[in-house]
Amino acid sequence: MRQNIRKILAVLVFAVSMLGLTACGSTAVTSTELPFDEEYLQTVTAALVEDWNGSTPEELTQIAEADTEVLEENIKNYRTMGYLWGCFNADSLKSAYAGYLGSMEELGAFQSQDGFEPMEIKGDEVTIVANLTYENRTATLSMVFNKRGIIESATLDPTYSTGEILQKAAMNTILGMGTVFIVLIFISLVIYCFNFIPGNQVQKAPAPAPKPKPKKPVQRPAAKPQTKENLVDDKELVAAITAAICAYTGTSSDGFVVRSIRRAESSTWKKY
């Protein structure tokens, strides 16, 4: 009994999804603007998640790298058939599939869809956010629709813990600073190598010869002033000089008295 109920519910969900996709295709052909039906937006968002999970990486790559003009022509046909791609334009479809393709390995296998956030209307656009659970982490899918129900953008954002965010920030800081230091070291090595290139060496001026230290003048002892020696106490010398004077003048020694005898300068004797 329970299995039958599950099958009936699955058929009903599939029918609602097809009705939503059909509405998307029909409104894209006409110029009539739709009111923002939250249930319709949720149905289209759920259909995109199912299409992602049912596609192989090769199929996702083919859509993400498709030619824009060719893809735009195919989208026009899909709108008339009510297919999911009719709710996109070429650029938003390619970016949506490329974004999921880049996050597949990080997210892991799809587990469940955990409801939607209330839709948010800004001007002519409406945004709806779906909460998704994957094998490795949770994620949010943000879908932006215009008034005609065409998807302008679909962004899948994995959820990271605080530790993972800090770890990524630290790694980015280390890589950034490490790159800067490596470049600076490389530039320093290049500049250093210029010294070994012939013709680029700077001729260094010879260093000036050291000035000789001034010699200290030799201080000679000051000559002592010559004092005139009085030889009057030398009696033998007095007697000899007195006799010589008397002989020279022819007089007697009684007529004079020798009071002082001093040595004469050498220059005076040279005259004689």
What is the tens place of the pLDDT at every residue in 204-259?
556 666 666 666 665 665 555 555 555 556 677 777 777 777 777 767 666 666 66
Q: What pLDDT is attached to residue 4?
A: 43
Q: Give the predicted TM-score (pTM) of the model.
A: 0.52
For the ranges 39-43, 167-171, 232-236, 265-269, the lowest mean pLDDT is seen at 265-269
Question: Cβ(144)–Cβ(126) under 8 Å?
Answer: yes
Q: What pLDDT is attached to residue 194?
A: 82
Angle between helices 2-29 and 68-81 (to 10 degrees): 120
In angstroms, the CA 37 to CA 20 distance is: 10
Rounded to 5°, the CA angle 47-51-52 comes to 120
Quick one: which of 102, 104, 144 has its CA closest to 124? 144
In angstroms, the CA 145 to CA 88 distance is: 9
Q: For the chain, what is the mean pLDDT?
A: 75
What is the tens place of the pLDDT at every residue in 127-165?
999 999 999 999 999 999 988 888 899 999 998 888 888
What is the tens place of the pLDDT at every residue in 113-124?
999 998 888 888
